[in-house]
Structure 1
């Protein structure tokens, strides 16, 4: 708990330094506190260039941060959160301490010179690096190390957005990937500490001054539901385009990596010249959209421009987050949708700002599939309880739709493209990389679904597994019945117990023969009995049995 407070304080202080660096470089490169608020203006110190200075700002910035990242910390390139997720999932929470320094400078230079990315990804990586460094110095266990890294991430989000609850749930949903009382307590301490320090420096105000939210009639819930589905499509599309443009940049570039951001900065400069609202994070533009100040056609142009500008910034080797761009894209979508609906149904639609706010959360949820974080951060930003119901509706639909469309999120896809599966064994790991089909045991004789319960109890008592597969009259696998389930039914409600085992058969999480053993272990520890059936991936029929003892035997012989 003490370490969590210290890390929270470090993340809060890091966010202050990081924001100061962004402000300094933004004024240096653009001559304005936030060029997106003065889009199209000239640089006061090179006014003779007019707005054309934006062609050169990304090039100069790239010449500075390109060699810095390439020489000292290549993991500082990109949006940062996937690297932290990988460190926690497969590297015991180990992150190099130099990442904090390099990420601070590289991301501040990227954003200050016009890169269209967010500041939350960098501060997550900065805070996580601080947590990892402190964990190594204090020699904590691997489990505690992962928790300290998550504390750094929570503190970074909390201080950046002045949203302490969002920081906690961001760390639990995306970084730690688990919920426990101990983790929640530590994350709250880190998040609150970082928020207190952030508020002392920046005031107790949200990073956006969002409009009041209200729902005028029940019909609007149907409109919010449609927005949630559309937002999922946009979020998934943003993810695909982001990595498609990154692939295109990889294909096109043949020179040294340290020079790539500067040369690619020319292309980014052209985008900024055409649409200067894309310069930096773009909070002033987001603010105007939520207030309904833009026409639908311009909102769609801003949405597409942000997708391209963010993807290009990441693709050329820039450093920055995709959380804020996701909120930006969602605000443009929601505002355009709300304006269009208001024109079609002026008496039913309600205020445009309401749709912009829901769109922000729904697009982020569609891209990241972190629904709790999306709900909490919008609630904290607005302070309006009335937003919860439509926001939850849209975000749940966006998350479900996104899950139907793609297996990966905007964070995990970056890792999977490098051949890394967070749910599987670490790359080159000796333990857990075996396929289940190579370690499974023979399948126990399945029970017909019509087997009387008393007879099934006798067979289960003789089985060494404490569980048996159940098949129907067509030999189709329908689930597993356990000795515990039969014993509970016979002892608690003997008069109302089912006649056969069919009603007690429940299918556990599917384990297939082609899965890595490390992935199957997660399902194995969650079941009753001493094992699970192994299924053929194509036909779904049981072909073997994976037991706790068999898995431990394999792990022992390869360790």
Structure 2
């Protein structure tokens, strides 16, 4: 006999045939068609576009519902300082309580179900595409929709674009995961979801396309571009059928009256670049301040911080919610220069505070708001010094909107396209491009990061320089061999010693056919033995796994899975799309993660 130690037998899957054998046996395989063919990717892109439209419609309805419930108005910013008809005896002071009430609901929702739904959303999608192969947890879509709608409805001074990008992207990732797509194709579906969400929410399909390509994928490959365009068009068509064909902002026609005003446009562009960088720095400075001040549980942070936000809303009720009515008034020239500057500074603080206390919402709409205030103020001043011989205030406000967004997000193509879609006025394109290019250049000179990438850099991730990104340790590098499984029919008393000696106190359980059923822990076995059930079948104590940890996931994913399980070890399955995706290929323990060599 050989002296070699016995090896642990692999845990077989339910079907002994491999995935390829199944394809051959069945002939045409729908899942294989979706996974491998251009036609399959096209079908999924259309499905993601339609789904993103549906989610965007639901999201907008949720915002309207929660705004009505918490403020008593369809949009409180349209009538700032008014009473809430649900609690008229509170007068305008209800704004002190609205953010608190919203925070008490969405705080625990985000903390316990999807922590990545906190904040403005786009950096999380960028990270998922760049570092996680496009994988986003399915529950993010629902949690983000509810949390952001509650936050905005409760007075949070944030926008809709960040949430809908994350919601649509999560949908694309989920459908791609179900179809078991490769990482490259999964990333395309994530971009399709982002584009569809933007297109449906703002009735701007071109802006959705370029937002997804410029910021999410950072790639204009022909196939990706085509799929994203189809998803955006599908989403926009469905949203227009349901919500109407009006843009999210109704703006009059604008033209530049004199060619010499290009000089003024250039100055405005440079100022917008400065404002965009200032917005970015104030946002993260206030977020850091909130982190230093807060010492309580994270789920309670939005509610307690809501008191500070409510105080700001009491002083400046125009900051309630997204603020499109206020933006429209600025474009129409209804505010004096001094008040425009107050609104500009107030929006920076209100948005930053909303994010800092743990709120959920985007920064795209706030950047447009800031640009409108800056541009309108600039136009008013220019008109006074020129004796009124300049273009109307709204022209400068419109240019400022695109320029400040470009200065903060550094996405010049998206900035030009979305403002063109808002106005449909080609004559505004040339001055808009001048301002946007200068704003982007000034922003680049003042800061290495955008409002989106700075959040990632603070985590040690520089998407602009992949060679500097710290290597990510994969589960495949850390997992240990699968221990000998507990088999159906064994007496619990007979496997107790093996559980105790397993180190982690967790063993896999297989049924009579050898199919993995879950895990059994020493704690559950001890409790059963203490009750006198020595002959219990271990299968009755199985803890099932609804979310599988896979060998190509990261150490962070593994630690999260260990934390959710409450056990000291979890099973590891093969990568999605591989022949081993239904097999247990390894075992991850806390000891293995702690013993892993440090990343350099």
Shorter-chain TM-score range: 0.7 to 0.9
SS in 2 for 1:44: coil
**Residue in 1 aligned with 2:57?**
16
**Residue in 2 aligned with 1:382?**
423
C-alpha distance in 1, partners of 2:327/2:239?
A: 22
2:327 is aligned with 1:327: no
1:353: Cα distance to partner?
0.4
2:223 is aligned with 1:190: no
> Deviation string for 1:501-539 (max 9, x for gaps)?
xxxxxxxxxxxxxxxxxxxxxxxxxxxxxxxxxxxxxxx
1:59-458 to 2 correspondence within 5 Å?
59-422=100-463, 423-424=465-466, 427-429=470-472
C-alpha distance in 2, partners of 1:427/1:259?
A: 33
TM-score (norm 2): 0.71
Asked if structure 2 preserves the Cα contact closer than 8 Å seen for 1:211 and 1:290, the reply is: no
C-alpha distance in 1, partners of 2:323/2:470?
A: 38
1:287: Cα distance to partner?
0.5
C-alpha distance in 2, partners of 1:170/1:232?
A: 19
Asked if structure 2 preserves the Cα contact closer than 8 Å seen for 1:22 and 1:109, the reply is: yes
C-alpha distance in 1, partners of 2:369/2:110?
A: 27
SS in 2 for 1:45: coil
C-alpha distance in 1, partners of 2:387/2:288?
A: 44
SS in 2 for 1:245: helix
> Deviation string for 1:440-496 (max 9, x for gaps)?
xxxxxxxxxxxxxxxxxxxxxxxxxxxxxxxxxxxxxxxxxxxxxxxxxxxxxxxxx
1:45: Cα distance to partner?
1.6
1:478-557 to 2 correspondence within 5 Å?
none
C-alpha distance in 2, partners of 1:42/1:68?
A: 29
Asked if structure 2 preserves the Cα contact closer than 8 Å seen for 1:289 and 1:332, the reply is: yes
C-alpha distance in 1, partners of 2:263/2:47?
A: 46
Asked if structure 2 preserves the Cα contact closer than 8 Å seen for 1:119 and 1:320, the reply is: yes
Size of the aligned set, in residue pairs, is 432
**Residue in 2 aligned with 1:525?**
none
Asked if structure 2 preserves the Cα contact closer than 8 Å seen for 1:158 and 1:194, the reply is: yes
C-alpha distance in 2, partners of 1:48/1:347?
A: 46
C-alpha distance in 1, partners of 2:388/2:341?
A: 24
1:179: Cα distance to partner?
0.7
> Deviation string for 1:72-118 (max 9, x for gaps)?
00000000000000000010000000000000000000000000000
> Deviation string for 1:296-322 (max 9, x for gaps)?
000000001100000000000000000
**Residue in 1 aligned with 2:521?**
none
Which among 68, 71, 80 is matched to residue 27 of structure 1?
A: 68
**Residue in 2 aligned with 1:446?**
none
C-alpha distance in 1, partners of 2:471/2:270?
A: 39
C-alpha distance in 2, partners of 1:412/1:67?
A: 27
1:181: Cα distance to partner?
1.1
1:347: Cα distance to partner?
4.3
C-alpha distance in 2, partners of 1:184/1:53?
A: 47
C-alpha distance in 1, partners of 2:449/2:156?
A: 25
| CA RMSD between the two structures | 1.1
Q: Which runs of 5+ in 1 are unaligned?
A: 432-557
Q: Which runs of 5+ in 2 are unaligned?
A: 1-41, 475-598
SS in 1 for 2:155: coil
1:424: Cα distance to partner?
2.4
Asked if structure 2 preserves the Cα contact closer than 8 Å seen for 1:220 and 1:348, the reply is: no
